[in-house]
Amino acid sequence: MNSSIDSQNTYWLRNKRLVIGCLIVWFFISLGCSVIFADYLNQFVYRGIPFGFWIAQQGSIITFVLIIFFYAWRMQKLDKAFKNRKQYGS
């Protein structure tokens, strides 16, 4: 019984850590690079496009998609790990 509660807590703890990590990246790219630091990043220009402007119009959206798939993939692994542990009763 104790080990089950323990493993449930570990699962939730790891999930929360992953969520916080992903949200930091999400915040940094969308509201950080594209809004707060946009003016600063705009001094770097590649192929006619200032970098802050590019992140705001293209880079942020690409990052969002990658974050969700990364989270879904890591959680699937975590789900499997805890499912196996439960079955073998450890």
Partner 1 sequence: MALKTLTYLVVGFTFVVYIAIAIWSKAKSTGEFYVAGKGVHPIANGMATAADWMSAASFISMAGIIAFAGYDGSRFLMGWTGGFVLLALLLAPYLRKYGKFTVPEFIGDRYYSKTARIVAVICLLFISFTYIAGQMRGVGIVFSRFLEVPIGTGLIVGMGIVFIYAVLGGMKGITYTQIAQYCVLIFAFTVPAIFIAFQLTGNFIPQVAFASKVIGTDLYLIEKLNQVIVDLGFPNYTESQRSTLDMFCITAALMIGTAGLPHVIVRFFTVPNVSDARYSAGWALFFIGILYLTAPAIGSMARLNLTNTVQIGVVGDAEGNLFYEERPEWFRTWESTGLLTFEDKNNDGRVQYYDDSNPDFEEQANAFGWQGNELVIDRDIMVLANPEIANLPAWVIALIAAGGVAAALSTAAGLLLVISSSISHDLLKGVIAPSITESQELFAGRISAAVAIGIAGLLGYYPPAFVAQVVAFAFGLAAASLFPVLMLGIFTKTINKEGAIAGMLTGLIFTYGYIEFFKGLFLQWAGTPFAADTPDNWIFGISPEGIGIVGMILNITVAVIVSKLTNPPPEEVQNLVEEIRHPQ
Cα gap 29→37, rounded to integer Å: 10
Q: Which amino acid makes up residue 19?
A: V
CB of 50 to partner 1, least distance (A): 5
Residues between 24 and 63 with contacts to partner 1, criterion CB under 8 A: 26, 30-31, 34-36, 38-39, 42, 46-50, 53, 56-58, 60-62
DSSP output for the chain? -HHHHHHHHHHHHHHHHHHHHHHHHHHIIIIIIIIISHHHHTT-EETTEEHHHHIIIIIHHHHHHHHHHHHHHHHHHHHHHHHHHHHTT-
Instruction: Figure out which of the listed residues 17, 40, 44, 68 binds partner 1, where binding follows CB under 8 A.
Output: 68
Residue closer to partner 1 by CB (options 3, 19) is 19
> In the complex, which residues of this chain contact partner 1 (CB under 8 A)?
8, 11-12, 15-16, 19, 22-23, 26, 30-31, 34-36, 38-39, 42, 46-50, 53, 56-58, 60-62, 64-65, 67-69, 71-72, 75-76, 79, 82-83, 86
